[in-house]
Structure 1
Amino acid sequence: MDTAPLWEDNDYPSTHLMPDPVTPSEKERETEDQQRDVLASIRGLPAWEEPAEYQGSVGRTMFDTPGATDNSVTVLLPPECIERVPAQSMVRITSYPDGRTYLGIVIAGPFAEPDGLRADAPSLTVTAVRGAMFMPRYHGRVQVEILGEQLASRALVPPRFRPLPNSPVFALNSSDTAAVLHVAGTIQLGVAAGDETINVKIDSSRKSVLPRHTGILGTTGGGKSTTVSRIIKEAASTDYAVILLDTEGEYTEINQPTTDPTMLAALQRRSMRPEGVTNTHIFTLVGKDTSNPTHPDIVPFTLEFSTMSPYVVEELLDLNDAQKQRFEKAYDATKHVLKDLGIFPEPGNDNHQKLVVELDEFDTGYPRMKLSHLYDIVGIIHAIVSKEEPADVFLRSPDFRSQKDQIITRVKGYAQGTDNRLSWRAVLGKVSRLMRINVFDRPDAQPLDYGKLLTPGHVSIFDLSDTDSPLLNNLVIADLLRGTQKRQDEMYQQSQQPDGTPLTKTLIIIEEAHEFLSEERLSAMPNLFQQVARIAKRGRKRWLSLIFVTQLPQHLPRQVLGLVNNFVLHKINDAVTISRLKGSIAGIDEALWQRLPGLAPGQAIVTFTSMTRPLLVAVDPAPAKLRMID
């Protein structure tokens, strides 16, 4: 074999480096002469040519070893072809001589191996540690995962056989690779890592993609906010109605172009220009401030207690079983008082009577019931149980004040048999906590207009940065999800009519999703999760898509991950979290999982239902301004 010249080093005796040169024997010289004579005798023949089936190939398949696995083959490469098949590159294998065609992707390698020697052979290690390298001829090796067998129609089907040994392997060009991976779409996410000519896009025109829901996971600084801002901009430009629940106020300035030097440099490298997201609107709870007071469209809103399921409210208030029984008793008493007073249903109103009969309190609350109504009833019952004078209770609701005697008479029946004063006091205290938040049924603000929220191209940013209350954030998220799903259902029914208008595609992004649906909360809030699950399942048919964003994916319960079919995984260091995600996310090969802890900011492992397989992607920089939150 050919070798590179050895080095000279006067500090070491030559015997420490290599054995003394050996003069070739007479027999060896005779053998070499015979070889030269043979070569000379055939010089007149045509030069050897590679068979037509192998021309243009970069390597050949190897024999299988006892440790071989299904859907994976070893490919050997000549040294000049190693750089043509980097990790995650696509290849075509033409099995010879059976003629079957397979498509595969490099999942390990390329590795460089010496010809005919072990990589740790003494002749290599001894010279290397002495400051030089015995350089034999070498070849490349890659491990290829078989994606499927390609038929004559170019359809890709599960493989029934494996490529035969010594079959030629061809590297696909960028356009062929993009076609095989199915990365075409309408929402530009980034480029394939290692090949910037392959644009990775999300196919938002198919109901089987975004409505299958998405998880954007990763540690702080991994690039989640950049990914979210890109999806917002791209989705809005394709006529999605975008609703963003921003718990930190990080996205309230995306109407402006970015000024971050790092982002500007990244945009310049990608030949992009900084620009803000158009048609953005900031919504804040009444009495709360926004992190961007200069935004041109700030809309305060109030929550309506009548829209919230009583079972979800009691879970959010963290009531124990005894307190839940008393809360439900007070809720029923309030409904009867509203009926007695003609508030709802109104006398003679058949539509109201129908609503009462069809009411599903696991999904919504009692129409026209205000939080002050419930608070007054709980206060009266607590006074009766405590042997106090109920007439002395101050009623918060103007609807009740003029009818106090009638109300007390009606409520006394609900107080019988419930003499646990301390339990009623606890319920009164927790309902009072909601009253002190002072965001329910406010006359100085309007409830949300879901018709406007679900307008194509409309970007609604709910700034919850000033609430400083997980309880209040969860109330807003629960109410918004319910209201959006109800309005989307109505629009869906209208779109099914012969003269109906097309249904608006809607995207709801929940930042810090672990605070809303954590493992700890789920066991205590089954009704809330069931509400989210219903929205997720119905949304798949009604163009209602959810995106869960979190830096603590280990806190998301398996049930929530089970609702998600698309993932964008930024850097995750925790080995336990990665192991847990492996059990929930299918199709990602071990080589990509091993890269996850070392991903650079902006890199992500992306898998969508429209793609052939997961892919390592360099997410495009955000052209809009983000308020970087440490």
Structure 2
Amino acid sequence: MADKDEGGIKMVIGVVSEPGEDANQFVFVTPDDTELKTGEFVKYEASVELEHEREIKEKKRRIFARVINREQCRGFPDRFMSNPDVPPKLVARKLGISSEETDLYRIKAVVIGYYDERLNDFTNPRIVPNPGTEIELATNDELEEFLTEASSDAGGTALIGELLHRSPGETEISLPIDAFTSTHLSILASTGSGKSYTAAVIAEEMMKPDSKAAMLIIDPHGEYGTLKEIEERNQDIFQDADEGYSPSVQIWSPEDIKIQISELTQSDLFSILDNPSDAQEQVLSEAWDNLQNKDNEYISLEEIKEECASVGDSMDLESSARALDWRLEKALNRDLFHHSKHISLSSNQNERGLLRPGQCTVLRLDTMGLRDQQMLTTVLLRKINQARIEAEKGRESELDFPVFVMLEEGHRFAPADGSARSLGVLSTILSEGRKFGVGIGIISQRPSKIDDDVLSQCKTQIIMQIKNPNDQEAVRRSVEGVGEDLLSELPGLTPGQAVVSGDSVNTPFLCRIRERHTEHGAESLETTRIWREEWQKLDREPDGLAEPEVEEGTEDRDETL
């Protein structure tokens, strides 16, 4: 039914038949050959009242709408289709029906609105098209221009992929980096659906010359090490010879990371000690306050134990102080803690630091226990947030630039049951970080296990395949503005497909994530191949055991025995 091509001329694909069930919905009829699917974008023209120089005038505007349902309204009679041996075209001929005209579809669409250049967003005219209005397919150029805020963004953009319902290469989708780093990002998906892959795509984009991001990835499973290839591969993508820009990717392991004991808070200590008694808390609290008041730059484990012993004596709580002694020894006498070494936040000429513009640092925590991961993240995020507050208030600070932190397995650090030490500082940053230049990206395969407030504070969402009903419900509770039509798509998405919504886009849409420039580091093991190779190694040896080595000169003796 399309009567023109897309070369700037109308592409009529259907005609409005009636209003829909809701105020913003309408129904149009189209032949099957358009293949309109849920999530596709259409448009029509309508007169809209606009304020112009304090006068209300009508003006023709392009009104965009999204397809939310599709159902057949004319087809072959069911009773003739019950026999699979009878071809449909034969049935049509017997009935005197043209087989070329048997398929008509009713398409339900919801009005998005017209694009308002002043607002850089869609404005809903709150009217639906009249019956008989011609419906056109939205062009690729219009969708690239209007779907996200990237077109008007003066800063860097992140090319994440292309519109799912258009042919590959037709409609590229970019997100404005300023928008999602300041209002926070969540990437939610079932295992194997591409959440880590998508996060790495965003990291690649943020390391390009247009952004030069200061970025930290907290990596509990060691999945992001291949981002190191940014330094070596695709130099035409990541480097800028004119500016002399070349991105840096630092991979830090637990051996590189120390928490300075003086950076802990009193409540951190109580958490590390794992449920100390009231008397022990009383002794430790007094001892810690005394050490803080001494204004020592460093605090050692021995100093804490000595101060606890002194406080215990003065408070007649010697037994509690002695019990604290071995608890403190067990908690703090480990590689993670040190009296003077610490994590330097910012790089300089003399010291390797965690963050600087043009650097992505990956903290690999795969050899660290969960509680240590949570404690390290707590101290680190608190330091980053405090440094950014100092910088924004014009005080001396380690971080004179904004930072973006991505947390893989976000449910570990902000669990719904509130059990993680890191939840408090994450909640603070998510609610206040926009003012101070600390952005957070939460990546998780279990949305239902993330604290609802934390998830709802992530104002840009990339949601991939989710089959678990509890996780689907968590997304419904926490993600605003995504229609039920798109949420119903989540179980059927294939790896690499996503619903993108939130503050960085003007309306939700379905996207196909682009291919990475670097290798993916979170692929599943090729289990059967490894089994076969190991079997072949063992099969070369009798009973899977190597022949024992025989000492020289003992062969004859063994035979005589």
TM-score, length-scaled by structure 1: 0.67
Query: Aligned partners of 1:372, 1:486: CA distance in 2, in Å?
Result: 28
1:469-508 deviation line (CA, Å, top 9, x unaligned)? 111111110111011112222332349x9xx999523110
Alignment match, 2:498: 604
Task: Check whether the contact 1:184–1:199 (CA below 8 A) recurs between aligned residues.
Answer: no
| 1:9-28 map, 5 Å | none
SS at match of 1:450: coil
Instruction: Give the residue type in structure 2 aligned to 1:460.
Output: T
- Are 1:60 and 2:25 matched, yes or no? no
Gap change, CA 1:377 and 1:104, over 3 Å in 2: same
- Are 1:244 and 2:217 matched, yes or no? yes
Gap change, CA 1:159 and 1:316, over 3 Å in 2: farther
SS at match of 2:271: helix
Give 1:175's match in structure 2, choosing from 117, 136, 141.
141
Gap change, CA 1:155 and 1:240, over 3 Å in 2: closer
Query: Aligned partners of 1:112, 1:220: CA distance in 2, in Å?
Result: 35
SS at match of 2:287: helix
SS at match of 1:159: coil
Give 1:578's match in structure 2, choosing from 467, 472, 477.
472
Instruction: Give the residue type in structure 2 aligned to 1:190.
Output: G
Alignment match, 2:378: 478
1:178-229 deviation line (CA, Å, top 9, x unaligned)? 22212636111111112232111110134xx321111111122111121111
Gap change, CA 1:601 and 1:258, over 3 Å in 2: farther
Larger strand percent:
2
CA RMSD of superposed structures (Å) = 3.5
Displacement of 1:176 in angstroms is 0.9
- Are 1:412 and 2:381 matched, yes or no? no
Gap change, CA 1:319 and 1:250, over 3 Å in 2: same
1:14-41 deviation line (CA, Å, top 9, x unaligned)? xxxxxxxxxxxxxxxxxxxxxxxxxxxx
Gap change, CA 1:188 and 1:375, over 3 Å in 2: farther
Instruction: Give the residue type in structure 2 aligned to 1:253.
Output: T
Alignment match, 2:405: 508
Task: Check whether the contact 1:249–1:465 (CA below 8 A) recurs between aligned residues.
Answer: yes
Alignment match, 1:24: none
- Are 1:166 and 2:132 matched, yes or no? yes
SS at match of 1:59: strand
| 1:498-537 map, 5 Å | 504-520=401-417, 522=418, 524=419, 528-537=422-431
Gap change, CA 1:319 and 1:120, over 3 Å in 2: farther
SS at match of 1:175: helix
Query: Aligned partners of 1:162, 1:511: CA distance in 2, in Å?
Result: 43
Query: Aligned partners of 1:171, 1:337: CA distance in 2, in Å?
Result: 70
Structure 1 unaligned spans of 5+: 1-53, 289-299, 347-366, 381-407
Give 1:73's match in structure 2, choosing from 15, 26, 42.
26
Give 2:111's match in structure 1, choosing from 140, 146, 156.
146
Gap change, CA 1:165 and 1:625, over 3 Å in 2: same
| 1:263-302 map, 5 Å | 278-285=247-254, 288=255, 300-302=256-258
Alignment match, 1:440: 337
Alignment match, 2:196: 225
Task: Check whether the contact 1:178–1:184 (CA below 8 A) recurs between aligned residues.
Answer: no
Instruction: Give the residue type in structure 2 aligned to 1:142.
Output: I
Query: Aligned partners of 1:252, 1:530: CA distance in 2, in Å?
Result: 28
Query: Aligned partners of 1:543, 1:562: CA distance in 2, in Å?
Result: 19
Instruction: Give the residue type in structure 2 aligned to 1:466.
Output: T
Query: Aligned partners of 1:563, 1:373: CA distance in 2, in Å?
Result: 41
Gap change, CA 1:159 and 1:485, over 3 Å in 2: same
Displacement of 1:544 in angstroms is 1.4
| 1:3-14 map, 5 Å | none
Task: Check whether the contact 2:15–2:131 (CA below 8 A) recurs between aligned residues.
Answer: yes
- Are 1:587 and 2:481 matched, yes or no? yes
Displacement of 1:95 in angstroms is 4.3
Query: Aligned partners of 2:335, 2:11: CA distance in 1, in Å?
Result: 73
Instruction: Give the residue type in structure 2 aligned to 1:172.
Output: A
Task: Check whether the contact 2:14–2:135 (CA below 8 A) recurs between aligned residues.
Answer: yes
Displacement of 1:463 in angstroms is 1.4
SS at match of 1:532: helix
Structure 2 unaligned spans of 5+: 1-8, 49-57, 152-156, 239-245, 348-352, 525-561
Query: Aligned partners of 1:283, 1:151: CA distance in 2, in Å?
Result: 46
Give 1:91's match in structure 2, choosing from 33, 39, 42.
42
Displacement of 1:542 in angstroms is 2.4
Alignment match, 1:297: none
Displacement of 1:577 in angstroms is 1.4
Gap change, CA 1:448 and 1:534, over 3 Å in 2: same
Larger radius of gyration: 1
Gap change, CA 1:158 and 1:458, over 3 Å in 2: same
Alignment match, 1:368: 298
Alignment match, 2:444: 550
Alignment match, 1:466: 367
1:89-108 deviation line (CA, Å, top 9, x unaligned)? 22222348996752211122
Task: Check whether the contact 1:182–1:611 (CA below 8 A) recurs between aligned residues.
Answer: yes
Query: Aligned partners of 1:589, 1:617: CA distance in 2, in Å?
Result: 15
Alignment match, 1:34: none
Task: Check whether the contact 1:450–1:487 (CA below 8 A) recurs between aligned residues.
Answer: no
Task: Check whether the contact 1:239–1:505 (CA below 8 A) recurs between aligned residues.
Answer: no
Displacement of 1:594 in angstroms is 2.0
Query: Aligned partners of 1:482, 1:248: CA distance in 2, in Å?
Result: 22
Query: Aligned partners of 1:222, 1:375: CA distance in 2, in Å?
Result: 50
Query: Aligned partners of 1:96, 1:439: CA distance in 2, in Å?
Result: 66
Task: Check whether the contact 2:455–2:478 (CA below 8 A) recurs between aligned residues.
Answer: yes
Displacement of 1:169 in angstroms is 1.1
Alignment match, 1:113: 73
Alignment match, 2:390: 490
Query: Aligned partners of 2:107, 2:192: CA distance in 1, in Å?
Result: 32
Q: Percent identity?
A: 17
Instruction: Give the residue type in structure 1 aligned to 2:226.
Output: E
How many residue pairs get aligned? The number is 474
Query: Aligned partners of 1:516, 1:155: CA distance in 2, in Å?
Result: 34
